[in-house]
Amino acid sequence: MPGHWRIHRNRLEGHNRLYNDYFADPAVYPDYIFRRTFRMKRDLYFKIVQAVEEHDPWFQQRRNAAVELGLSSLQKVIAAFRMLAYDAAADSLDECLRLGESTIIESMRRFVRAIIEVFGNEYLRAPNEEDTARLLDMNQ
């Protein structure tokens, strides 16, 4: 396309590195480093990824017209998590995740919308009397 830059980022390598670092058995980084890096347990992370994938098909890995695998849901969701957890700029995540800035911004936009629509009624609401009582019991 005239005037359009195409950077071959080797997206599959980015997914494989990410998977081997955090999700393989055994992973390069153990559970406590995953928790420190992503500020949650791995099981919760997978619950969120699954919910986001089911809600928005954009997060599902697909093949393009050349039958090449596209970006994985792990890459797209981790981009949003890293922006939220570390207040990272979109272009700072390109090298480690193998995603372009515009894709990272789109991931963040769709991720936030999916979280609000999927988990909003349960977690993004003001606490009721039952919640307050449960929290007070936990703190005693």
Torsion of CA 95, 58, 66, 74, to 10 degrees: 40
CA distance 30 to 38: 12
Beta-carbon neighbour count of residue 80 at 10 Å? 24
pLDDT 10s digits, 30-62: 999 989 888 889 899 999 999 999 999 999 888
Query: Any idea where the domains of the chain sit in the sequence?
Result: 11-139
pLDDT 10s digits, 2-39: 666 666 667 777 778 888 898 888 999 999 998 988 88
Residue showing tokens 């393009």: 64
Is residue 54 within a helix (H) or strand (E), and if so which, with residue range?
Answer: helix 42-55
